């Protein structure tokens, strides 16, 4: 697990851009104010992605593949 502290102004919406392929994941928050990159080695049977919100609610506004 990785963390990248990113304080948001009151009422500011968190914007994430997540790029995912077979061996890596990159997350860009607030147009690059915080960035995480990692290599991944998923099991061959893995076919899904999950997101979770802690300490508040979250909603998906858009998704492209």
Q: How far apart are CA 62 and CA 46, in angstroms?
A: 23
The pLDDT, as a whole number, for residue 2 is 84
Q: How confident is the model at residue 8 (pLDDT cuts 50, 70, 90)?
A: very high
- Residue 24, CB-side half-sphere exposure with 13 Å CA sphere: 6
H or E element that contains 25? strand 24-29
Assess contact for 57 and 50: CB atoms under 8 A. Answer: no
Question: What does pTM read for this prediction?
Answer: 0.78
Vertex 9: Cα angle to 3 and 49 (nearest 5) = 40
pLDDT in tens, 15-39: 999 998 889 999 999 999 999 999 9
């Amino acid at each position: 697990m990785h963390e990248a502290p990113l304080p948001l102004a009151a009422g500011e919406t968190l914007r994430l851009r997540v790029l995912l392929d077979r061996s890596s994941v990159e997350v860009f928050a607030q147009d690059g104010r915080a960035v995480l990159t990692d290599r991944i080695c998923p099991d061959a049977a893995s076919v899904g992605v999950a997101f979770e919100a802690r300490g508040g609610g979250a909603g998906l506004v858009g998704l492209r593949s």
